[in-house]
Structure 1
Amino acid sequence: MTDYVVMFPADNEAQWEAGTEADHQATFDIDAEFSRLLTSRGGAITGGAGLTHSREARTLTARGDSSVMVTQGPFAESAEQISGFFIVSCDEYDALVDAAQVLTRAHPVVEIRPIAEF
């Protein structure tokens, strides 16, 4: 089986924070539906996490000159932040893509990448 990461790079964190428990449950239900669809196609979720944009977060940057800089907050140099991800195993990429389409009902962008084995 091939392993993939399924990422959510465009979720609106302010909208999530302002959401109700029912709003959050609707997202969790869609994520659970993805899991059921993936399992029915021979795949499995093997890991994952939701990532917060908290004040306690720190970003560690190591530079080529051996210096290290620690800053407050997840300030990656990108326009988008990853709000969460699943690690999945699946034999057929097309089956994963089919199952992942349901995720777009809760996540505006779903990015799927194979995990490189070293």
Structure 2
Amino acid sequence: MPEYVVMFPADNEADWETRTEADRQATFDTDYEFGQLLAARGGAVTGGAGLTHSSHARTVKRGPNSHPLVTEGPFAETVEQLSGFFIVTCDDYDALVEAAKVLVRAHPVVEIRPVKEF
């Protein structure tokens, strides 16, 4: 069965930190609903994680003369951050996209990418 990563690249970390427990639970409930909708369409959430605060992140990139350069933060020259992801399987890509529509109630952007087996 094809595998995909469903990512949340635009969640606002500061907004999450100021939410009430009820608001956070609403996000978790939406994520759960996605899993249920996906299962009803023959797919499954097989993994995933919420990512920790970006202030604890480090970025490793190629520096001058191809030497590794480590910087503080998730600053891979992007204005967005990745707050979490699901790993899912689904034979029907359109069904996955349809199920993922519920996620935008809790996440401003949802990105779906196929996983390539090596």
Q: TM-score, normalised by structure 2?
A: 0.92
The aligned counterpart of 1:88 is 88
Code of the residue aligned with 1:55 in structure 2: it is S
- Aligned length in residues: 118
SS of the counterpart of 2:55? coil
Q: Which aligned pairs between 1:8-87 and structure 2 lie closer than 5 A? A: 8-63=8-63, 65-87=65-87
| Cα RMSD for the two superposed structures | 1.4
Residue 115 of structure 2 corresponds to 115
- Alignment match, 1:6: 6
Matches within 5 A, 1:90-109: 90-109=90-109
Bigger share in helix: 2
Deviation for aligned residue 1:64: 7.7
Normalization by structure 1: what TM-score?
Answer: 0.92
CA distance in 2, matches of 1:109, 1:76: 18
Q: Kindly report structure 1 stretches of 4+ aligned residues shifted beyond 6 Å.
A: none
* Higher alpha-carbon deviation: 68-77 or 56-65: 56-65
Instruction: Answer yes or no: is the 8 Å Cα contact 1:8–1:85 preserved in 2.
Output: yes
Matched-pair identity in %: 70
Bigger shift: 33-42 or 61-70?
61-70
Is the Cα–Cα contact under 8 Å of residues 46 and 89 in structure 1 kept in the other structure? yes
